[in-house]
Amino acid sequence: MTQSFRHRFRVRYAEVDPQGVVFNSRYLEYADILVTEYWEAAGLHVAGEDSLEFHVAQANVTFKKPIRLREWVEGRAVTTRIGNSSMAQRIELHGEGGAEDLRAAIDLVQVHVDLETGMPVPIPNRVRGLFADTLVAA
């Protein structure tokens, strides 16, 4: 993955099972953290008056290797596609071994919606511009 946004975090006790392995559901929570940080860094606000509403339409998690308690994880995020009303991101979770230590990959499709109707609406050009320069093919 090139031109990716990166964010590091440490696995906490509440995120693991009795064997000290991250619960499956947490991978999507980690993806949400990465997308939030990525969008904020790009200038897209996820809350407040000028924020937009995006809903996850599809999420696919590919597990490679367990993540364990107290490990540092480097999440990487890129936008792989921007459509009319949706955009796709790829999130990779890496262990301390760097690029060679891929633990999971999460592919997300998020749809821009009108909050009142729940119906898809076009992504504004200002949002397209925030991610266009870093668009990476999947």
**Average pLDDT in the 116-121 region?**
94
Residue 138: inside a domain, yes or no?
no
Total of domains in the chain? 1
Residue 99: inside a domain, yes or no?
yes
> DSSP string covering 43-106, please?
T--SSSTT---EEEEEEEEEE-S--BTT-EEEEEEEEEEE-SSEEEEEEEEE-TTGGG-EEEEE
Q: Assess whether pLDDT exceeds 90 at residue 99.
A: no
The whole domain housing 56 covers 5-132
What pTM does this model have? 0.91
pLDDT at 134: 73
Residue 124 φ then ψ, to 5°: -60, 150
Centre a 10 Å sphere on the Cβ of residue 103 and count the other Cβ atoms it contains. Answer: 22
pLDDT at 18: 96
Residue 23: inside a domain, yes or no?
yes
- CB half-sphere exposure, 16, CA atoms < 13 A: 14
Contact in structure between 67 and 21 (CB atoms under 8 Å)? yes
Residue 137: inside a domain, yes or no?
no
Strand partners, 61: 106
- Report the CATH number that the domain containing residue 123 is assigned in CATH: 3.10.129.10
pLDDT digits (tens, 9 = 90+) for 3-55: 689 999 999 999 999 999 999 999 999 999 999 999 999 999 888 887 899 99
Question: How far is it, in rounded angstroms, from Cα 77 to Cα 84?
Answer: 21
Residue 112: inside a domain, yes or no?
yes
Residue 21: inside a domain, yes or no?
yes
